Amino acid sequence: MAIEIERKFLVVNDEYKRNVRGILYRQGYISIDVQRIVRVRIAGDRAFLTIKSLVSEITRLEFEYDIPVSDAVEMLDKLCTKSIIEKYRYELTVDGQLWIVDEFLGDNAGLVVAEIELASEDQPFTKPTWAGAEVTGDARYLNAHLVIEPFKFWREKSK
């Protein structure tokens, strides 16, 4: 059984882009039920089928499998809830720990979220200067939620 322990933060500037190159991701969801999220993802020239289930606010069971890119394309087109998430993903190391920054495109443009995966819920880590407010417990920032209520609609509601 695979466990994912993750914390998420809003990104406050683009310093994370120094010396790293983003990879284009396209992903969609076959199921967005919090107890059984099923995601299809194309990351560069690879594709994955991922199944997640909520354990706690920051911990999930996660199972991920390589699949043929051609299968992923067909699943995104024919099986996944619309809309499809598109984003650039940046991976960088801060004080020996891997951080992932997602810069969203399309209906989620303007949203940039950083995450760090931890070995335990109480593992200490150094928060980079470009990481702002923590949004770990806010379900709006889950990619599966961005499919149903894209970021552009949040901004329209706040006007």
Query: Residues 61-94: pLDDT tens digits?
Result: 999 999 999 999 999 999 999 889 999 999 999 9
Residue 1 in this model has a pLDDT that exceeds 60: no
Cα separation, 49 vs 47, whole angstroms: 7
Calpha distance 70→139 (Å, rounded): 31
Which sequence positions are flagged as catalytic?
A: 29
Q: Which pLDDT value is given to residue 157?
A: 65
What was the pLDDT predicted at 93? Answer: 95
Domain count for the chain, please give it. 1
* CATH number, residue 135: 2.40.320.10
> What is the per-residue pLDDT across 14-41, written as a single tens digit (0 to 9) for each?
999 998 999 999 999 999 987 889 999 9
State which residues form the domain around 115: 3-157
The pLDDT score that the predictor gives to residue 130 is: 97
